[in-house]
Amino acid sequence: MQKLVNTLENCGYKVHLAKDKNEAFEISKTYIKDGISVGLGGSTSVGQIGLLDYLLNNKNITLYNQYEAGITMDENIERRRKGILTDLYVTGTNALTKDGKLVNADGSGNRVAAMIFGPKNVLVIVGKNKIVETVEDGFKRIMDVAAIKNIDRMNSKAIEMGKEPRHNLDNIANKFTYIKADDKDRIILILVDEELGF
């Protein structure tokens, strides 16, 4: 694991190791300072460690929550736009290669755009199931695992909210990216020794 940490740090990432989701949550909270603005990328992992609820209930930050029930699509888009220009963007990743590449697909593109440029910092929660050998393995993981599970998750959420389930392989993974390095410590990775997310 130390070899992976060294590789990731050489890519410019700040790296934390967490033995479980509770420790990942405690580490994450240290980045949530009073007065900051926070953007959200769609991430099951963020919810699983308890960070999403923590952010939703934190009255000392400005949170651009595009998932709030009852908002219009125009408001949803506006919050995603504002989320890209925040102090901290919180998300997961579809895959992380052993040579340090963050591999992702996105439907609308706000999550991958924010990871590339915009927020002052990006906090990425990475379960051990997301670590793969190569970029090709990362893209394979996206199509064979993450996209399928996210289609089901997003369509179930749409039905729950009284909306039309519209997600499929043609529209859920429209934009593909991989990041091989970034400015020192801008991207903060919390590697969790548990399986998280899709």
Q: Is 88:30 a contact under the CB 8 Å cutoff?
A: no
> Side-chain half-sphere of 172: how many Cα atoms within 13 Å?
21
Q: Quick one: tokens of 9?
A: 């740090």
Q: Is 141:197 a contact under the CB 8 Å cutoff?
A: no
For residue 152, give Cα distances in angstroms to 108, 148, 158, 159.
Answer: 17, 7, 10, 11
Backbone phi, psi, residue 174, to 5°: -90, -30
Residue scoring higher pLDDT (119 or 170)? 119
| pLDDT value at 110 more than 90 | yes
- 3-state DSSP: the chain helix, strand, coil percent, rounded to 5? 40, 25, 40
Q: What is the DSSP string of 77-126?
A: HHHHHHHTTSSEEEEE-SEEETTS-EEEEESSSHHHHHHHSSSSEEEEEE
Which pLDDT belongs to residue 188? 98
**Rg of the Cα atoms in the chain:** 16
Q: How confident is the model at residue 42 (pLDDT cuts 50, 70, 90)?
A: confident
Q: What integer is the mean pLDDT of 122-143?
A: 97
Name the fold adopted by 2-192.
Answer: Rossmann fold (3.40.50)
| pLDDT value at 111 more than 90 | yes
Which pLDDT belongs to residue 1? 87
Which pLDDT belongs to residue 194? 98
Q: Is 113:77 a contact under the CB 8 Å cutoff?
A: no
Q: Is 83:73 a contact under the CB 8 Å cutoff?
A: no
Q: What integer is the mean pLDDT of 45-69?
A: 96
Q: How far apart are CA 175 and CA 104, in angstroms?
A: 8
Domain extent listing, the chain: 2-192
Q: How confident is the model at residue 143 (pLDDT cuts 50, 70, 90)?
A: very high
Which pLDDT belongs to residue 23? 98
Q: What integer is the mean pLDDT of 154-162?
A: 85
| pLDDT value at 62 more than 90 | yes
Q: What integer is the mean pLDDT of 83-104?
A: 98
Q: Quick one: tokens of 7?
A: 């590789």
